[in-house]
Amino acid sequence: MAKPALILASQSPRRREILSLTLLHFETMTVETPEVLDPLCSIEENVTRISLEKAEAVSLLLPEKGRNNIILSADTVVAKGKRIYGKPTGFDSAFEILKSLQNRSHRVYTGFVLLYGGKTHTECVITTVEFDPMSDNEIKRYLLSEKPYDKAGAYGIQDPLMACHVRRIEGCYYNVVGLPLSRVCKALKAFL
């Protein structure tokens, strides 16, 4: 029997870059799904549920004979205390998010799902990040140069200007970028 193909259910270029570090061959497929947080559920439950919805939606697009695939999907949010930050709606929203994250720690939650046949693996990985303070002008310069409007928390830890302000990180760096690679690789071993 042929080895299953790996499909990344994401349009994120960062997730593609991270997964390519495994040197595994994979394809990408995307489908629009609502990414609505349920206030009655924990952050961990929300990001894993949203990831599962993405994976299941991609699974439905595959022809019956092409279902011998492993589907990987993920969802990331940033939280400070009880406040959850997804992707900003524009410059003003991004500015307010970054301003609120200054000089304090916040947590990055990435839920990921692997689907293969009747098997499902769900997991949530949490990383703590702390920034040094950024002035209003530094925040504006970052937003104007990087335009991080497609990133949870309005920043990319890997972006040159943002990297200069990371004081501390506890946990998986790749989780903050968008995919907790070591945990994904560990989970993939059971499927491959």
Which residues are catalytic, by number? 75
Tell me if residue 83 falls in helix, strand or coil. strand
Beta strand pairing call for 69-80 and 105-116: antiparallel
Alpha-carbon distance of 110 to 103, in angstroms, equals 22
Q: Which alpha helices (DSSP H) does 34-151 contain, by range?
A: 43-61, 91-101, 136-146
The Cβ-side half-sphere exposure at 100, using a 13 Å CA radius, reads 18
d(CA 157, CA 85): 15
